[in-house]
Structure 1
Amino acid sequence: MLKIIQHKIFLLACGTLISFSTFAQQNLKLTYNRPAENWNEALPIGNGKLGAMVFGGAAQEHLQLNEETIWAGEPGNNVPKNTFDSIQKVRRLINEGQFEKAQDLTNTTYPRTAPKDLNYGMPYQTMGDLFLDFKGHENFKNYIRTLDIEKAISTVSYQVNGVTFKREIFSSFADNVIMIKLSSSNKGSLNFTLNASTPHKINSIFTEKNQLVISGTSGSVDNKIGKINFKTVTIPVLKGGKLTSTKDQLNISGADEVVIYVSIATNFKKYNDLSGNPDARVSEYLKSALNKKYDAELKAHIEKYQKYFKRVNLDFGTSKQAQKTTDVRIKEFGNSQDPDLVALYFQFGRYLLISSSQQGTQPANLQGIWNYQLNPSWDSKYTVNINTEMNYWPAENTNLSEMHEPLFDMIQDLSITGQESAKEMYHARGWNMHHNTDLWRITGIVDGGFYGMWPMGGAWLTQHVWNHYLYTGDKEFLKKNYEALKGCALFYLDVLQQDPSKKYLVVSPSMSPENKYFKNVSITAGTTMDNQLVFDVFNNFINASKILNQDQNLSNEVKNALSKLPPMQIGQHAQLQEWLTDMDKTDDKHRHISHLYGLFPSGQISPFRNPDLTEAAKNSMIYRGDKSTGWSMGWKVNWWARLLDGNRAFKLISDQLTPAPMENKGQSGGTYPNLLDAHPPFQIDGNFGCTSGIAEMLLQSYDGYIYILPALPDALPNGSVKGLKARGGFEIDMDWKNSKLTKLIVKSTLGGNARIRVAKDIHLKSKTNFASAKGENTNEYYQINPIKKPLVSEKAHLKTIAVPETQVFDFKTEKNGTYQFTSY
């Protein structure tokens, strides 16, 4: 029985003000008492386009610099010619059960090393490094280095011979420059040199007109010639003192204060257009920034950044650990009480997304925008069998929808370039891509047949289009991206094959990403993840077609194919099957658990609607284990949250917040001293995955309702969060104490029915009429796509999973209305 107190008054955002508990003033800073000794200790700054890692040395400040479009190579796709016949032969071999032969033919057709006429994608590359050398600063004391993620500024402060030296460094969101302000407590104390380096073979470093200039060209890899031309200009502006120059170095002496402007530009305009003028662009960026006083530039930077960052406030409480430096807190997290570090880690993920993905920029790649190498691990490109998607999991639920836009722009590009791979490789309409892409929007096989024969990249990426619509209700956005959704559905409509039993339509050939079921055999048909992805692709198109009143005949054709997809299956070990046949091994510890896509992010599996599938998914999780690579543990946080096990989700966060090894190899996960995620080496997806997972522990909005505190761990019994987003345009604020909800505020930007699920023992009162929910949610953004009844192995022993006792209630909302509930 839902216990409620009702009043017939609702509160409008523009009317009565609602008081919400005052949030604790959090220390939103990463803090250190020594300079960075290596890249994994340096601190990241970025404005979406320009990134830097700040080392903070006293005798030498080192900024490793990135610009988002400095990639190796040149325009062009990587689609192989004349391989359709081989794909047809692989399909026949799979149907005949000759899996080893199918894998051999796949490997021959798509070898592990790229053929001379192809490439497997281009690497994202560093620009180079800027150095500030301070003579006599080797002996320093009272050192402190910070990254203020509330203001997006890195600072350094220390003393030499009684003089205090300070630096402020930020990548300006207001203008496309990196700015460094140097000051000291004594006038005339700033004496240093500015010099630079770049690892690019084609480069020139020189000074002109009191500017330090680097020009260069990106690298050539495989069959592609490096054609990104870049230019970096560094300009110091002095207050007092003297500026002189040598051939390739600037010298500052006796200055009171120095502000340094760094701008980088390239000739890149679009994946197929390199007609930009880096000289003109750099001049334009610098002119705009130099026309402003430093304080005005800093203020504009902070205001633009905080427009996004301050939308969400998270407080888990604090402890004495918060007074320690960040590296020490990471080392001690597993054996201490430090709830504030969890909140800091969550907000750091939001900081990274804002800093690496702004409107009009490239999407965040495997390392966001931070990379110090010419040939980084996995090329630091876009791996779309999990990693790129994970980068954007926090975009909607942590109130950063605008940060999603670069990914949508890339999907628009891929829906064009992907027509080549669909047509050439599969003789199919529409578009597709495989498991990697880059700046040039390649869509062919990458890394050979064993890893790359996975034609599902577009299927997963387009889920972000539909998800954004569900959160925002933006029909103009849906219209703009409709053809991408349609083209994706067309591709699978054409490539689906009848399986040998002739019962189902399946994707063939494909794989369950990067895993294998026999020794050295990954190639197969009808994997569970593929079936789940196609299920979503088809439903997204059907629903979009209905909303926009387009392509009814095609929609009916897609509905027919949808009805022939395989159901999910529970195998002999009571696990969710990964493959079409029951081949899972209980000792398989592979980092990819791709068949749980249906649990998260998709939401096809629900504890309340599908308890057997939920139990099977949980069993699969238990078999695989917890410890893994950083991104894998990040995904597991989200899965355990969807399994409503907050304590297990928190354990994964604790596993992730352990010091990562400094060696750049292995699959141990963990976190570097600068809070960046380790595979190792560094990959940014683990940061984003954990940020999403923490949000999922507090709020879930799928399966027809908004679930408040669905997976709150015992370690976080008291707290507040403000500004999380739910599907249907709802914004949620809440307080909890002793693990129970005490206050809830729901803001509705779109109106419509709000359906809320909370713990059964919560008694709510409100001035809003609300009542126990009946039937399906009438809100259009919470409609359920029904799944088929799963097939269950006769050998499976299901124990019946326990779900929490909850209550579900509805209330009507008006556009821009605000509704408050308190417990009693």
Structure 2
Amino acid sequence: MSVVGWSSGSVLARQPTGRRWSSGPTRAASTNSGASWLPTERSPDADVSRSGHVGVRLSEHHVHDPRPSMTQHARHHIRLNSPATSFLEAFLLGNGRLGAAVHGLPGCERLDLNLDTFWSGGPLSSAERHDRSQWLEPVRAAVRRGDHEEAQRLAQELQGDTWSQSYEPLGGLLVRFGDPSDEFVLEGRELDMAAAIASSWSSGPRGPVRLRSWISAPRDVLVIELSGATHNVVLDLDDPHGAEYVASHENVPGASEALVHTWAGRAPVAVAPDYLGDVDEPIRWPTDEPDASGLVDAGMGFAIAAITQRTGPDEVRVIVAAVDGYRGRTARPSADLSDLRRRAVDQVVALWEVPTETMRAEHEAEHRSWFDRVDLDLSASSAQEAGAHVDAARAEQFFDVGRYLLIASSRPGSQPANLQGIWNDDTRPGWSCNWTTNINLPMNYWPAARLGLGELTRPFASLVADLAELASTTARDVYGAPGWALHHNTDLWGFSAPVPSTAPTDPHHANWPVAGLWLTEQLAELERFGVDLSVDLWAITAGAAEFALHLLEPDPDGRLVTNPSTSPEHDFLVDGVPFSVSAGTAMDQQLVAEVFDSLLELAAAGRAPADATAQALTERVREARDRLRAPRVGDDGVLLEWGETWEPADRGHRHLSHLYGLFPGASIDAQRTHALEAAARLALRDRIDHGSGYTGWSQAWILCLAARIGDTDLVQHSVDVLVRDLTSASLLDLHPVPNHPTGFRFQIDGNLGGVAGIIESLVSARDGHIRLLPAPPGTWPAGSVRGLVVEGGHRVDLTWSEGRVERVRVTVGRAGEIRVSGPGVADILRPVTTGDTIGIDS
């Protein structure tokens, strides 16, 4: 029987000092084995535990003290004195595929496990697709008439019958390192972001214990090292999927055999989004049997294997591998649990003779090959200068956490980082823990190229390329259109339809069909930063442009606008009544303009196929671009979110969609579109004055916008709010959720978007002009950063003091002409070739 919760396994009690935590003498709940404590390894010197199972006992003599000297602050480290009170405060480990959330619990550690491809559901069925395109023209006609109520009603006819599927947890691995009656006190825990290692130190009745965990990319396993006075190391799994436990004796190199623990089960067939509330059968579990090939339509299988091994007189290591039955977005997954068990077992057994030091060294070297590409050092900015603001050291930590999380959750060959990266402990997670395309997925990759981590965007590019093919059915079935159409979220299986018309998924959520344009333009931006995407950007852009052309029609003035059109998750008011559906919202018009510009640039660069179809599309796009209506400005000078001067339903709304063209887009710029930029500034100020930025990702977007317009005070404010108010103790970004037990959910986009905003405040580039220190917070008067990449693929190393550039080195990416400017630097304009360096000392 699966364990639903594990509170009975370890009761935490706060000590009077508020600094040390202890585990009480309770025992962990059993999972599936029928006994409380599961076996670890068959070993000549292993003792039999009270429950009759074998546990690894470490020597109780000559135990060295594993505790470090804990200083108050160390760069690239997070140090805490209490365990995680929830998933939100855990330290996260990952290699892009396998993830673990480490809680730092004394006596019985918990590591929540995930795999990037372990989702509910299965490939999309043709039975789920219906032709709804006959409703498009009635919707458009209602919009033209100004019949908002009818347009709202008819838009729901375009919506589908199903939701996206959910990213699933594997379960919580419990590592007990003492007798159930032992009481342990936590001394401290630490995440070393430069090494990607989580450690904790605790004291028990036999002395101190260190537990150190890391996930190896080269070996694709989780390694847990225990040293000190551990006793009876025992493993268990807090499993939400009803997995079956099996212990098997396996031949291992250099020894007769070892005991390997495995758990195997299946994902749900379907999971209803949590925002639907109480519904019938919110989680549908599989009841079918795999076919002769071990395949199923939905509900893939998974297996976890773990092996424990004594590696020294007071040292034990645990090696954990996990696999699932994912075989591709359109392929039926495997639920052959025997095969999955064998694959997982083979992974851990193969590492029996590999020294821990070898694995740790190669893990750290591989991780540092990413992490060491950039370093932001704000130690020259004194904490005394912060005053009421977040001090520079804490902001630096926040920056490091963000880039660490990107490296841990997105690697070549993995899936893209989802709403929570690759970490989730809920079977019915917030917003399905999917890829939300109206902000979260794009924001996840805003910092990647800027950090010189362009290779980490390959999973994103691969997903977009897949969607450009899979979502063509949605363009055809819903809109009768060519190209491809993606709405406000997607999943492992390439879901692209508008979700059903069930509250709260009314048209302002569901009927936003231009997500594909945003993702396409993000790929174009990555190329401008010098990233090799390894996808056919022409084909993706052409499909997005074809769909956009189908959405466009003339307004009363003959200018082209999208119809129907919505602004993500926001309504306008007409006579006090909220509506969503109109024509030519600001974001739509900006996205269409930028995608059209990108296609014309590709054609001009000779990247279009040399055929009549491509030539005809290019000409149609060129003509439509000239007729496209620009975003409108109200009489008060504020950029309008919709095409008319309607009152927003929420002037402090979390989304800042109408400001897309300012950031991350490029269609609004102080130099080229001064009037629009001024209108965008006013729109941003109006949003903030009415309370926007109350979620982590929303505040991160504000930070990016503030940096783009050079507003140092607003940059400072956003950094303060993000770091002080909207992060957990382990600096994970928080999204307020009143109905959640903790009051929050983790959303990784706030961490990653915040990194992008910090970079933009320090160095930015547009059209060959590199701006140094455009908007650094006032609490960072001095510092240095190396390895940042700007548009053009140029690498920038920068040192500043007293708010002025002290030294800069630019390594040229793309040949051409470069202009460099900033406080303390006279404008420099010169022609350059790839590989040149420009060095400036004040």
Do both proteins adopt the same fold according to a TM-score greater than 0.5, normalized to the shorter chain?
yes
Distance in 2 (CA, whole Å) between partners of 1:120 and 1:216 is 24
Q: Among 600, 603, 607, which residue is 2:663 paired with?
A: 600
Shift of 1:318: 6.1
Deviation readout 1:629-683 (Å, 9 max, x if unpaired) = 1110010000011110122112011111224xxxxxxxxxx11111111112211
CA distance in 1, matches of 2:419, 2:238: 24
Residue 615, structure 1, aligned to residue 687, structure 2: no
Paired with 2:382 and 2:600, the residues of 1 have a C-alpha distance of: 54
Helix, strand or coil at the partner of 2:105: coil
The yes-or-no answer on 1:194 pairing with 2:235 is yes
Q: What residue is the counterpart of 1:521 in the other structure? A: 579
Aligned to 2:415: 362
d(CA) in 1 for partners of 2:405 and 2:360?
19
**Correspondence 1:314 to 2:376:** yes
- Looking at structure 1, the residues matched to 549 and 390 of structure 2 have their Cα atoms a distance apart, in angstroms, of 53
Encode CA deviations 1:280-304: one digit per residue, 9 max, x unaligned: 5424533554452111111111111
1:682 pairs with one of 746, 750, 761: 746
CA contact (8 A) 1:364 1:391 kept: yes
The counterpart of 2:102, out of the listed 51, 54, 72, is 54
| SS, match of residue 335 in structure 1 | coil
Is the aligned partner of 1:730 residue 2:794? yes
Q: Tell me, what secondary structure is at the counterpart of 2:605?
A: helix
Whole-Å separation in 2 of the counterparts to 1:319 and 1:567: 43
Instruction: Report deviation, 1:358.
Output: 0.6
Q: Find the counterpart in structure 2 of residue 239 from structure 1.
A: 311
Query: For 1:419-446, what per-residue CA distance to the aligned partner results, in whole angstroms no more than 9, with x for missing partners?
Result: 1011111111111211110000011112
The whole-number CA distance in structure 1 between the counterparts of 2:771 and 2:156 is 46
What SS does the aligned partner of 1:548 have? coil
| Larger deviation, residues 38-47 vs 350-359 | 38-47
Paired AA for residue 50 in structure 1: L
Q: CA deviation at 1:703?
A: 4.3
Q: Does 1:673 align with 2:729?
A: yes
**Which residue of structure 1 lines up, in the alignment, with residue 5 of structure 2?**
none
Q: Could you report, residue by residue, the CA deviation over 1:294-330 in whole angstroms, capped at 9, with x for unpaired residues?
A: 11111111111111110001011268979xxxxxxxx
Taking structure 1 as reference, are residues 334 and 181 closer, same or farther at Cα in structure 2, changes over 3 Å only? farther
Aligned residue-pair number: 708
Matches within 5 A, 1:17-416: 27-76=75-124, 80-110=129-159, 118-133=161-176, 134-135=178-179, 139-141=183-185, 143-161=187-205, 163-184=207-228, 189-201=230-242, 203-209=243-249, 210-221=259-270, 226-239=298-311, 256-274=314-332, 278-317=340-379, 335=388, 338-416=391-469
- SS in structure 2 at match of 1:122: coil
The change in CA–CA distance for 1:77 and 1:580 in structure 2 (over 3 A counts) is farther
User: Percent identity between the aligned chains?
Assistant: 31
The code of the aligned residue for 1:182 comes to L
Whether the aligned pair in 2 keeps the contact of 1:131 and 1:194 (CA below 8 Å) is yes
Amino acid at match of 1:709: L
Q: Which residue of 2 is the match for residue 658 of structure 1? A: 724
Provide the rounded CA distance (Å) in 2 between the counterparts of 1:86 and 1:620. Answer: 34
Distance 1:821 1:489 in 2: 43
Helix, strand or coil at the partner of 2:106: coil
Amino acid at match of 1:620: A
Please tell me the residue identity of whatever aligns with 2:570: N
Post-superposition shift, 1:484?
1.0
Instruction: Letter of the 1:165 partner, please give it.
Output: V
Between the aligned partners of 2:571 and 2:805, the Cα distance in structure 1 is 44
Deviation at 1:348, TM superposition (A): 0.7
1:437 and 2:490 correspond = yes
CA distance in 2, matches of 1:371, 1:586: 33
Q: SS in structure 1 opposite 2:572?
A: coil
**CA shift in 2, pair 1:522/1:337, >3 Å:** closer
Distance 1:282 1:448, change over 3 A: farther
Change over 3 Å in CA distance of 1:732–1:320 after alignment to 2 = closer
For the Cα contact (< 8 Å) 2:106–2:186, is it kept in 1? no
The secondary structure found in structure 1 opposite 2:232 is strand
The alpha-carbon deviation at position 360 of structure 1 amounts to 0.5
Please list, as runs of the form range in 1=range in 2, the aligned pairs for 1:615-764 lying within 5 A after superposition.
Answer: 615-625=678-688, 626-659=692-725, 670-680=726-736, 681-759=745-823, 762-763=824-825
2-side partners of 1:76 and 1:337: how far apart? 47
Q: In structure 2, do the counterparts of structure 1 residues 450 and 607 end up closer, same or farther at CA, with 3 Å as the change threshold?
A: closer
Task: Tell me the distance in 2 between the aligned counterparts of 1:494 and 1:584.
Answer: 29
- The letter for the 2-side match of 1:132 is V
Is contact 2:380–2:782 with CA below 8 Å preserved after alignment? no
What is the CA-CA distance between 1:395 and the residue it aligns to?
Answer: 0.7
How far apart are 1:502 and its partner, in Å? Answer: 4.5
Task: Assess, with a 3 A threshold, how the Cα gap between structure 1 residues 590 and 28 changes in structure 2: closer, same or farther.
Answer: same
Distance in 2 separating the partners of 1:479 and 1:127? 31
Measured on the aligned residues, the alpha-carbon RMSD in Å equals: 2.3
Q: Which has the higher contact order (CA 8 A, sep 6+)?
A: 1
1:132, distance to aligned residue in structure 2 (A) = 1.5
CA contact (8 A) 2:133 2:476 kept: no
User: What is the alpha-carbon distance in structure 2 between the residues aligned to residue 478 and residue 75 of structure 1?
Assistant: 25
After superposing the two structures, state which structure 1 stretch, 312-321 or 735-744, moved more: 312-321
| Secondary structure, counterpart of 2:808 in structure 1 | strand
CA distance in 1: counterparts of 2:550 and 2:717, whole angstroms: 44
Q: Secondary structure at the match of 2:735?
A: coil
CA deviations 1:169-218 (Å, max 9, x no partner) are 0111211111101011x6xx4323211121114x2123222122110110
> Offset at 1:611?
2.9
Q: What letter is aligned with 1:235?
A: I
Which structure 1 residue ranges, 5 or more long, are not aligned? 1-24, 241-254, 323-331, 660-669, 765-807
